[in-house]
């Protein structure tokens, strides 16, 4: 038996079917016995590769998200909201409650109109600044008053203000939708509160500045 | 403690340091004596307002008016100083431009307003209310007070600020470095929110945005109770958080929740469609 | 906030976790994930050779597992069930990519891959007593994908040839011969990458 013949028969040899001829060749041939030893070593050491590494935390995070999305994780809302959110919510709600009051005769966006959906029409161009253009068109009815208070400003300012108002309205719309989809979800409710606050800030700002300018 | 001379010296330094001199600029130099814990407000529609902590009991105001179409209105009553750049008829952003450099006692309660100018507040310990439209706002080394910042599209940068902090922005980015407090709340629309700090002081940290991304970098030793959720954007975390019950069922949102360390501070990162990333600080 | 104590990693707790997971308990899912993530991830990593794919496949494997967990009745070991699922996920991925799962014997492509070359006069130096794990890892990563699959499944993960034939869709004989060639190739790689050392022990 020569080396080539031995090698061809090697797989069976390793499985246990060994002939005397093969054994004899092994005893005589260093090259083949080395080969055998090496292959043996490789196959036994291979198991050391079995459990080597942990995946990054990202994997679990993404997995958990997907499990929730598919409803495989379904924990009932047993958690009382008090301990979790209360500090934060209180801090935000107090100024908002005050903020949603009617100011200086101008009607602010009212929470009672939560169900309202802004009419969507064609897009109007946004001012030429690197800010996200919001695809709302006509001025919302409740914003007409505040827009008229800023109308006398330089056009660039008016356009910028309009863009900001559009962003605020878009935020409110998105938050409203989130609340509609998840009525018991505190997070969505908080988003809506934040969205209102932004709009309220814009109103206050316009009124403050109008006051200042009026004193000229 | 200060005397008139000292204040004048400071004023001269300030003048040389930063204020631009134009041909027909009008230079104003005002000093007010105040008691403890005074209230100061500065309203300057066009132009920068820089306020730093100075001597106790004195408010020193240096103003450069760029034309005669704007006047400096001042009023002082008891422990309160109000300064306003009063725009006269026909004044615009250029002619109405005024530059302010102000020194106030550290414990002053301060209100600063500008439409286009940069607002800078430094080393103060009283309550600070800042309202800017488009100019950048910087608050540095301020502790102990309530800090309320509102901007439309200016960038807000807080460095080493501690206390009760509330920031609202429409399109301006909000950048916080070394900011901690009992409450740190940021409400943004499309502005980015960036936080780099340790979320310390057992505070409530609440960053919300409509579409702006939220990036928080915290050290491995942070002790936080995290809830991060974006309805339409992605949420990523470098940290392996201890799991906990999230108090709501989320439909169609991406979320991460869990605790790190003793969960001393609460960290709530919420966005409608912004990306949220909670990253570990590389030391 | 409730502080659910993590169950210890013993068989009984795994069974409990499985039952809880069937009810939708998020902590049970995470417990099962943590128990088996290393094995699954390492498998995916060995078979694909890159972290990004391995992470995606790990996620996919667990997702499929958790989707089907309601049907698990305990007839076989949970880990075996999961592992098979993971292997299937990886193989499916490799198939999609058009990578050969296990090369069939006929395609030798004219090169001497898998055939031991005898260089006259070349010193027949044995590989050292134990192969450095990192070296072996690297060598496995360098294997052509078809060889890699078979080697990982058989020698690393311990699947039998008949199981591999089943999973991969080849004959038992093919599985055996490809394994042999994979080992030969690994040996070549390990010998080639071995640092030059005179008078090795």
Q: pLDDT digit string (tens) for A90-143?
A: 334 334 434 443 333 333 333 333 333 333 333 333 333 445 555 545 777 888
Per the domain annotation, does B218 fall within a domain? yes
Query: How many domains, in total, are found in chain B?
Result: 1
Burial A154-181 (b: 16+ CB within 10 A, else e): eeebebbbbbbbbbbbbbbbbbbebbee
Work out whether the CA dihedral C73, C79, C84, C86 comes out positive or negative. positive
Per the domain annotation, does B177 fall within a domain? yes
Let me know whether C107 and C90 are in one domain.
no
Per the domain annotation, does B89 fall within a domain? no
Burial A57-96 (b: 16+ CB within 10 A, else e): bebbbbbbbbbbeeebbebeeebeeeebbeebbebbeeee
Per the domain annotation, does B91 fall within a domain? no
The C-alpha atoms of residue A137 and residue A155 are separated, in whole angstroms, by 17
Q: State ipTM.
A: 0.83
Per the domain annotation, does B201 fall within a domain? yes
The C-alpha atoms of residue A170 and residue B189 are separated, in whole angstroms, by 9
Let me know whether C197 and C160 are in one domain.
yes
Where in the sequence is the domain holding C24, given as residue range(s)?
Answer: 11-96
Domain boundary among C46, C75, C96: C96
Per the domain annotation, does B106 fall within a domain? no
Where in the sequence is the domain holding B200, given as residue range(s)?
Answer: 155-283
The C-alpha atoms of residue A145 and residue A202 are separated, in whole angstroms, by 13
What is the average per-residue pLDDT within B15-32?
71
- B236 and chain A in contact, CB less than 8 A: yes
Tell me the per-residue pLDDT of C55-74, one tens digit each, with 9 for 90 and over: 999 998 998 888 888 878 77
Yes or no, beta carbons of A52 and C39 under 8 Å apart: no
Per the domain annotation, does C4 fall within a domain? no
List, in sequence order, the alpha helices (H) in C97-171: 133-142, 145-151, 161-164
CATH code: domain of residue C26: 1.10.1740.10
Most confident option among A95-104, A177-186, B153-162, C160-169: B153-162
Q: Which H helix or E strand runs over C119? A: none
- A195 and chain B in contact, CB less than 8 A: yes
Yes or no, beta carbons of B239 and A64 under 8 Å apart: no
Per the domain annotation, does B47 fall within a domain? no
Per the domain annotation, does C111 fall within a domain? yes
Let me know whether C92 and C107 are in one domain.
no
- C149 and chain A in contact, CB less than 8 A: no
Yes or no, beta carbons of C26 and B243 under 8 Å apart: yes
Q: Which H helix or E strand runs over B43? A: strand B39-43
Tell me the per-residue pLDDT of B89-108, one tens digit each, with 9 for 90 and over: 888 888 999 999 999 999 99
CATH code: domain of residue C183: 1.10.10.10
Task: Answer whether C37's CB lies under 8 Å from C23's CB.
Answer: no
Per the domain annotation, does C144 fall within a domain? yes
Let me know whether C79 and C124 are in one domain.
no
pLDDT tops 50 at residue B1? no
Let me know whether C90 and C112 are in one domain.
no
Let me know whether C107 and C200 are in one domain.
yes
Query: How many domains, in total, are found in chain C?
Result: 2
Domain boundary among C81, C96, C111: C96
- A79 and chain B in contact, CB less than 8 A: yes
Q: Which H helix or E strand runs over A213? A: helix A186-214
Per the domain annotation, does C57 fall within a domain? yes
| Mutant choice from A3, A52, A81 vs C, greatest count of C C-beta within 10 A | A52
Per the domain annotation, does B90 fall within a domain? no
């Amino acid at each position: 038996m020569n080396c080539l013949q031995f090698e061809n028969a090697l797989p069976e040899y390793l499985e246990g079917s060994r002939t005397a001829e093969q054994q004899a060749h092994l005893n005589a041939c260093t090259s083949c016995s080395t080969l055998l030893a090496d292959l043996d070593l490789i196959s036994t050491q291979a198991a050391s590769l079995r459990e080597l590494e942990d995946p990054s935390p990202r994997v679990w995070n993404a997995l958990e998200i997907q499990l929730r999305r598919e409803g495989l994780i379904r924990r009932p809302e047993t958690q009382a909201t008090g301990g979790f959110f209360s500090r934060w919510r209180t801090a935000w709600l107090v100024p908002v409650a005050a903020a949603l009051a009617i100011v200086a005769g101008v009607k602010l966006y009212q929470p009672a109109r939560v169900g309202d959906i802004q009419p969507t029409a064609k897009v109007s161009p946004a001012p030429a600044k690197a800010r996200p253009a919001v695809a709302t068109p006509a001025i919302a009815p409740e914003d007409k008053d505040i827009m008229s208070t800023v109308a006398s400003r330089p056009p660039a300012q008016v356009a910028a203000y309009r863009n900001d108002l559009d962003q605020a309205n878009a935020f409110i719309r998105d938050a409203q939708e989130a609340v509609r989809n998840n009525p018991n979800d505190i997070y969505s409710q908080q988003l809506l509160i934040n969205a209102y606050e932004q709009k309220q800030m814009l109103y206050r700002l316009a009124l403050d500045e109008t006051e200042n300018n009026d004193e000229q | 403690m200060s005397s008139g001379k000292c204040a004048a010296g400071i004023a001269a330094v300030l003048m040389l340091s930063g204020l631009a001199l134009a041909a027909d600029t009008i230079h104003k130099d005002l000093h007010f004596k105040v008691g403890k814990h005074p209230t100061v407000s500065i309203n300057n529609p066009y132009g920068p307002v820089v306020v730093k902590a100075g001597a106790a009991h004195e408010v020193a105001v240096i103003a450069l008016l760029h034309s005669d179409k704007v006047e400096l209105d001042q009023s002082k009553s008891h422990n309160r100083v109000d300064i306003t750049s009063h725009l006269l008829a026909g004044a615009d952003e250029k002619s109405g431009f005024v530059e302010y450099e102000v020194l106030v006692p550290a414990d002053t309660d301060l209100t600063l307003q500008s439409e286009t100018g940069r607002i800078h507040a430094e080393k103060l310990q009283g309550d600070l209310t800042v309202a800017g439209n488009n100019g950048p706002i910087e608050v540095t080394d301020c502790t102990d007070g309530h800090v309320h910042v509102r901007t439309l599209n200016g960038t807000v940068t807080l460095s080493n600020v501690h206390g009760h902090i509330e920031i609202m922005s429409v399109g301006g980015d909000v950048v916080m470095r070394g900011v901690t407090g009992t409450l740190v709340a940021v409400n943004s629309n499309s502005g980015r929110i960036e936080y780099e700090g340790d979320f310390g002081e057992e505070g409530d940290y609440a960053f919300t945005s409509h579409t702006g991304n939220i990036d928080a970098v915290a050290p491995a030793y942070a002790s936080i109770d995290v809830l991060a959720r974006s309805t339409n954007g992605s949420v990523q975390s470098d940290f392996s958080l201890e799991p906990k019950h999230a108090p709501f069922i989320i439909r169609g949102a991406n979320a991460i929740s869990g605790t790190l360390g003793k969960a001393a501070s609460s960290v709530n990162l919420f966005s409608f469609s912004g990306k949220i990333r909670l990253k570990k600080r590389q030391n | 906030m409730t502080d659910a104590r993590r169950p210890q990693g013993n068989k009984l707790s795994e069974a409990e976790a499985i039952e809880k997971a069937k009810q939708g308990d998020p902590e049970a899912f995470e417990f099962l994930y943590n128990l088996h993530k290393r094995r699954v991830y390492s498998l995916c990593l060995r078979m694909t050779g890159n972290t990004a794919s391995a992470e995606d496949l790990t996620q996919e494997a667990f997702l499929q597992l958790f989707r089907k967990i309601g049907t698990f009745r305990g007839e076989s070991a949970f880990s075996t069930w999961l592992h098979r699922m993971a292997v299937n996920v990886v193989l499916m991925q490799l198939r999609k990519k058009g990578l050969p799962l296990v090369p069939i014997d006929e395609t030798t492509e004219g090169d001497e891959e898998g055939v031991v070359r005898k260089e006259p006069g070349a010193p027949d130096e044995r590989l050292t007593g134990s192969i450095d794990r990192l070296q072996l890892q690297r060598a496995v990563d360098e294997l052509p994908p078809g060889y890699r699959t078979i080697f990982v499944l058989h020698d690393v993960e311990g699947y039998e040839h008949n199981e591999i034939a089943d999973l991969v869709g080849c004959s038992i004989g093919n599985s055996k011969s490809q394994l042999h060639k994979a080992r030969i190739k690994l040996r070549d790689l390990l010998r080639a990458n071995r640092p030059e050392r005179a008078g090795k022990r």
